[in-house]
A and B are shown apart, each in its own frame.
Chain A
Amino acid sequence: MSAATATATLPALRRARAFSSLGTLTGRRFQLTARTPRELFVPLLTPIMFALVIAPALKSALHTNASYESFVAIGTVGLLIPLNTMFSGLGVIVDRENGAQRELLAAPIPRSLLVLGNLVVAFAITGLQVAVLIAVATVRGINFDPTATGVLWFVAAAGLFAIGMYGIAEILASRVPRQEEYIARVPAIAILPWFLAGALFPITALPTGLTWVAKFLPLTHGLALMRYGLLGDSTGLHNIWGGMGSTASAALSLAVLAGFALILTAGSIRVFTRAALR
Chain B
Amino acid sequence: MIEVRKLRKIYPGGVEAVSGIDFDVEPGEVFGLLGPNGAGKSTTIGMLTTTVAPTSGTAKVAGFDVAKHPLPARRASSVVFQEAVVDRSLTGRRNLEIHARLWGVDERESKARIDELAATLDLAELVDRPVGSYSGGERRRLEIARALVSGPRVLFLDEPTVGLDPLIRAELLDAIAGLRGRTEMTVLVTTHYLDEAERLCDRVAIIHSGRIVALDTPAALLSELGPEILELRVTGSAHAAADALRARGIAGDEAFAVGSTLTIPLRDTSSGEAIATVTDLGIATAISTRQPTLDDVYLRLTGDRLAAAA
Which A residues form the contact surface with B (CB < 8 A)? 17, 20-21, 24-25, 28, 31-32, 35, 98-110, 276-278
Contact = CB atoms under 8 A, between A and B. Distances in A.
B79 A106 contact: yes
A169 to B, nearest CB: 20
20 contacts: A21-B102, A24-B102, A25-B102, A28-B94, A28-B98, A31-B90, A99-B88, A100-B85, A102-B85, A103-B79, A103-B85, A106-B49, A106-B77, A107-B99, A108-B71, A108-B75, A277-B51, A277-B52, A277-B53, A278-B52
A100 B87 contact: yes
B89 A106 contact: no
B88 A98 contact: yes
Contacts of A32: 87, 89-90
A107 B103 contact: yes
Contacts of A25: 102
Contact of B51 (A24, A31, A102): A102
B81 A24 contact: no
A100 B98 CA distance: 11
B227 interface: no
B67 to A, nearest CB: 11
B73 to A, nearest CB: 8
A32 to B, nearest CB: 6
B214 interface: no
A35 B49 contact: no
Given A32-B90, A277-B52, A102 B81 contact: yes
B71 to A, nearest CB: 5
A103 B103 CA distance: 11
Contacts of A106: 49-51, 74, 77-79
Contact of B102 (A35, A108, A277): A108
- The secondary structure that dominates the A interface is helix
B90 A103 contact: no
Contacts of A98: 84, 88
Given A106-B79, A108-B103, A109-B102, A100 B95 contact: yes
A278 B53 contact: yes
B46 A108 contact: no
A107 B102 contact: yes
B101 interface: yes
B101 A20 contact: yes
Contacts of A108: 71-72, 74-75, 102-104
Given A28-B87, A101-B85, A107-B74, 14 more contacts: A17-B104, A21-B101, A25-B102, A28-B98, A31-B94, A32-B87, A98-B84, A98-B88, A100-B85, A106-B74, A108-B71, A108-B103, A276-B51, A278-B51
A101 B75 CA distance: 17
B44 to A, nearest CB: 13
B222 interface: no
Interface residues of B, number: 31
B89 A35 contact: yes
Interface in B228-255: none
Contact of B87 (A20, A99, A105): A99
A28 B79 CA distance: 20
B86 interface: yes
A20 to B, nearest CB: 7
B11 interface: yes
Contact of A28 (B84, B88, B90, B146): B90
Interface string B43-61: 0001001111100000000
A20 B106 CA distance: 11
A106 B71 CA distance: 9
Nearest to B99: A103
B52 A103 contact: no
Contacts of B146: 103
Contacts of A278: 11, 46, 51-53
A24 B99 CA distance: 9
Nearest to A105: B51
A84 B63 CA distance: 45
Contact of A100 (B50, B74, B86): B86
B285 to A, nearest CB: 47
Contacts of B87: 28, 32, 99-100
Nearest to A276: B51
Top-8 shortest CB links A-B:
A108-B75, A24-B101, A108-B74, A107-B102, A102-B85, A106-B49, A100-B87, A103-B85
Nearest to B81: A102
Contacts of A104: 102
A91 B98 CA distance: 17
Contacts of B101: 20-21, 24
